[in-house]
Homo-oligomer: A and B are copies of this chain.
Amino acid sequence: MTDPISAPAAETSYPIGSRNRVKRLHERAKYDRASVWSVLDSAMLCHVAYVIDGQPYCTPTIHWRDGDRLYWHGSSASRMLRALAHGVPVCLTVSHLDGLVLARTGFNHSANYRSAMCFGTAALVEDPAEKAAALEALIDRYYPDRAAMLRPISAQEMKATSVIAMTIEEAAMKTRAKGVADDEEDLGHPVWAAVIPVAQVIGAAEPCPRGATDTPRAASLDAYRPGRRLDEAFLETQKLWEGER
């Protein structure tokens, strides 16, 4: 776990290098940690790009963040985990689709979105204490205080699970969050133009029908109430988790 005293401050920026410099629509780009982290922390699902023998792979997985360290996990038998074990370059990206932008020209059609691309060197977490802490963080970061409520992890489960980590070396956040951007001379063209917003929304929980079903939901899961935006719930649980350490 990151030492809170040495953790980088949210208002500081990542260095800008050849990998993360945004070339296209650079006015949409930000490089400060707070902006990058807000995109990462609003999602559970990320995509990791890595290379095996020249072939790129784009694998979806669950990530979590502790300061500048990004973690993800998987079966010790998986292709991704074996490929990433020994220190290889990766790009981990999180994206949110926020709206469909229907303009008066095909060229001005767009999407509202938030994305963060993070570059670093992935490696297996081999230290048993860091690995155990990371797996506890995976639970508590999404579901505050929950790790201590669970049946403890067994030695066999620990062995079957691999944890990968990377320190973010470079990163960029990019966003579009505005209305239709048609040019003045196209505004009279007679076609319906609009933004159709979209959001990930939480549904009603479906309790497991097996075993003891009389255990109430912990109040620490209140973030996941039905009808709420999922990105806001994830952001809230990350902050709760950070505040409790």
Contact = CB atoms under 8 A, between A and B. Distances in A.
Contact of A90 (B56, B77, B160): B56
Interface residues of A, number: 97
Contact of A100 (B142, B193, B198): B142
B189 A196 contact: no
Interface string A150-194: 110110010011000000000000000001101000111111111
Contacts of A187: 210-212
A16 interface: no
A63 to B, nearest CB: 12
B57 A49 contact: yes
Copies of this chain in its oligomeric complex = 2
Interface stretch (A6-14, A29-37, A105-113): A105-113
A45 B97 contact: yes
Contacts of A201: 198-201
Nearest to A60: B95
A133 interface: no
Interface of A: 19, 23-25, 44-45, 47-51, 54-60, 62, 74-75, 77-79, 89-93, 95, 97, 100, 102-107, 109, 111, 113, 115, 117, 119, 135-136, 138-139, 142-143, 146-147, 149-151, 153-154, 157, 160-161, 179-180, 182, 186-212, 215-218, 221, 224, 230
5 contacts: A47-B95, A49-B58, A59-B117, A182-B211, A187-B210
Given A55-B89, A196-B203, 9 more contacts: A58-B58, A106-B136, A107-B153, A150-B189, A179-B206, A192-B216, A193-B211, A194-B208, A197-B205
